[in-house]
Amino acid sequence: MSPPDSKPTLAAVSAPLVSDIPAPPASRTSLGAKENEFFRAIQDYLDRAAKVINLEPYVRTILSQPKNELIVNFPVKMDSGEVRLFKGYRVQHNNLLGPFKGGIRFHPSVTLDDVKALASMMTWKSALLRLPFGGGKGGIKFDPRSVSKTELQRITRRFTHALGGNIGPDYDIPAPDMGTNAQTMAWMMDTYSNMVGSYQKQSVRGVVTGKPVASGGTLGRSKATGQGIVYCVIEWAEEHGFSLEGSTMIVQGFGNVGSNAAVILSKLGVSTIAVGDHSGYLINPEGFNAHKLQDYVEAHGSIAGYPGGKSITRDEFFATKADIFAPCALENQIGESEARALNVKLVVEGANGPTNPLGERIVLERGIDILPDVLANSGGVTVSYYEWVQNKRSESWTEEEVDERLEKAMKRAYREVSELARSKKCDLRIAAYALALQRLEAVYKERDIFP
Ligand code: NAD
């Protein structure tokens, strides 16, 4: 099976009209984030973990940069007839263990450096969860809420076409991330399958994961990242003799990850007492009905106007006393002031990179545990793997089967990370990186470097 032959080229597309791309939201820049701060932070973690396990220097060198970085500029006709040029990225960090794998993000703050950071984190997650995947990530710099549904479909399809043969079910497999969902994946799969020719059409469903179930997705994928977070929280609670029943939580970001984590934890007796998203922050000391709030956000696009809570500021949200904080929105949300304000026992990172290095140091010094992103939110890629396997075998697993496998995988990963952290006297993030690096190093040593 050969992939479609349209190859993206650097800034290869020209269009008669260029419209401005919205600026990043204020909350990101308010922490003083420099453009490449996120990628640099990931490289620092890589360096620290490499020291802990005496990683071969050449392995660190290879992993310090992505294998491929693609930028595509592509034109899309908007409903008004105007033609806008969009900038899309796909970064392929590493494919030693299997095809590149990672989400597609639609957000105005998408930058090449952030996508590089996110792609490399996917390499660590796949290795940590023992998945036969490498790491990749992509995105388009725009606000999906600012366009119509028909425009969104044309943007998604044209981006998929621009990526061309640089994605594929055995080469690079996108999935949903912030601003994208199962619908986005259905459009991507349909576009790709129309590019490969009719005799291959049925065999390329695995080009993306996180699809709607009727279009080849798996049961359990939409809640998988939230579910994985919950398995980690359960392990943490057992390890620390902490009772989840009757405990409280605050959640930043009530999209796919945050809302599913809140809904599943509510069944274990954890009450969500404050929430926030791009529209603002709400508090309800009695606890929100997570299910109802999830339905509300699905219908209205944000928590704004939800009747069951009182509006608070971002600062008040971060200072709310609770047991658990689940940041499930953007990177770089917990800086110095947020870290000092937090009044919780545990931060479980649903988002990728929500805690910046200074914030992390303060949080840990204050005795607050952090379940790091590469462990805590890896349930998504794990169930994506289950979807990919089902597509390859033309099978459909039950939700119970998916959940059971995910539970085993997440709890094993948690225990392995926790054990390494204890034996090497390092924090859980560095232990998670170290475990992933050990597995990658073992394969590099066996295979050596071509030629
Ligand atoms: P989503 O688009 O479904 O939800 C994103 C949420 O973040 C929304 O509630 C949005 O309002 C909020 N948000 C956006 N900008 C914000 C701001 N400036 N301040 C506060 N809140 C803001 O996205 P998602 O899939 O839930 O992803 C959330 C995070 O989880 C991302 O960091 C993503 O990389 C990570 N993640 C997602 C998955 C997955 O399977 N979807 C897997 C692993 C990690």
User: What integer pLDDT is reported at residue 36 of this predicted model?
Assistant: 57
- 280 close to ligand 1 (CB < 6 Angstrom): no
Atom of ligand 1 lying closest to residue 350 CA: 30
How far apart are the C-alpha atoms of 320 and 234, rounded to whole Å?
22
Q: What angle do CA 117, 188, 151 make, to 5 degrees?
A: 95
- 329 close to ligand 1 (CB < 6 Angstrom): yes
Q: Alpha carbon of 29 to those of 23, 33, 109, 280: distances in Å?
A: 10, 5, 10, 16
> Which residue puts its alpha carbon closest to atom 27 of ligand 1?
178
129 and 413 in contact (C-beta within 8 Å)? yes
Kindly report whether the global pTM for this prediction surpasses the value 0.75. yes
Residue with the two structure tokens 């900038």: 87
- 253 close to ligand 1 (CB < 6 Angstrom): yes
How far apart are the C-alpha atoms of 405 and 379, rounded to whole Å?
10
- Quickly state the pLDDT bin for 163 (edges 50, 70, 90): very high
Give residue-wise pLDDT tens across range 270-290.
Answer: 999 999 999 999 999 999 999
Chain-centre distance of CA 214, in angstroms? 23
Q: For residues 156-169, give the mean pLDDT.
A: 98
117 and 348 in contact (C-beta within 8 Å)? no
275 and 251 in contact (C-beta within 8 Å)? yes
Residue with the two structure tokens 């997705």: 217
330 Cα to the center of ligand 1, angstroms: 6
Q: For residues 158-176, give the mean pLDDT.
A: 98
Across 90-103, b (16+ Cβ under 10 Å) vs e yields bbbbbbbbbbbbbb
**Residue 136 falls in which region: left (phi positive, over 0), alpha (psi -120 to 50) or beta:** beta
- 349 close to ligand 1 (CB < 6 Angstrom): no
- Quickly state the pLDDT bin for 8 (edges 50, 70, 90): very low
How far apart are the C-alpha atoms of 93 and 68, rounded to whole Å?
7
Task: Give 278's DSSP letter.
Answer: T
Instruction: Check the CA dihedral 248-331-95-444 and report its sign.
Output: negative
- Quickly state the pLDDT bin for 199 (edges 50, 70, 90): confident
Nearby residues of 106 by Cβ (< 8 Å), 6 or more positions away: 139, 140, 142, 143, 144, 178, 179, 180, 184
How far apart are the C-alpha atoms of 442 and 257, rounded to whole Å?
32
Would residue 137 show up in a list of annotated catalytic residues for this protein? yes
Give residue-wise pLDDT tens across range 216-244.
Answer: 999 999 999 999 999 999 999 999 999 99
> Which residue puts its alpha carbon closest to atom 40 of ligand 1?
380
Which one is catalytic: 101, 137, 141, 223? 137
Q: Please choose, from the candidates 344, 340, 283, the residue with its C-alpha nearest in 3D space to the C-alpha of residue 316.
A: 283
- 257 close to ligand 1 (CB < 6 Angstrom): yes
Nearby residues of 309 by Cβ (< 8 Å), 6 or more positions away: 275, 282, 283, 284, 288, 303
- 176 close to ligand 1 (CB < 6 Angstrom): yes
386 Cα to the center of ligand 1, angstroms: 22
- 255 close to ligand 1 (CB < 6 Angstrom): yes
> Which residue puts its alpha carbon closest to atom 37 of ligand 1?
177
Give residue-wise pLDDT tens across range 101-137.
Answer: 999 999 999 999 999 999 999 999 999 999 999 999 9
178 Cα to the center of ligand 1, angstroms: 5
> Which residue puts its alpha carbon closest to atom 31 of ligand 1?
351
112 Cα to the center of ligand 1, angstroms: 18
Q: What angle do CA 382, 383, 387 make, to 5 degrees?
A: 125
User: What's the mean per-residue pLDDT of the chain?
Assistant: 93
Give residue-wise pLDDT tens across range 16-46.
Answer: 333 333 333 334 433 444 545 999 999 999 9
- 377 close to ligand 1 (CB < 6 Angstrom): yes
- Helix 399-424 to helix 224-239 angle (10° resolution) is 50
Q: Alpha carbon of 297 to those of 108, 277, 291, 386: distances in Å?
A: 20, 10, 10, 28
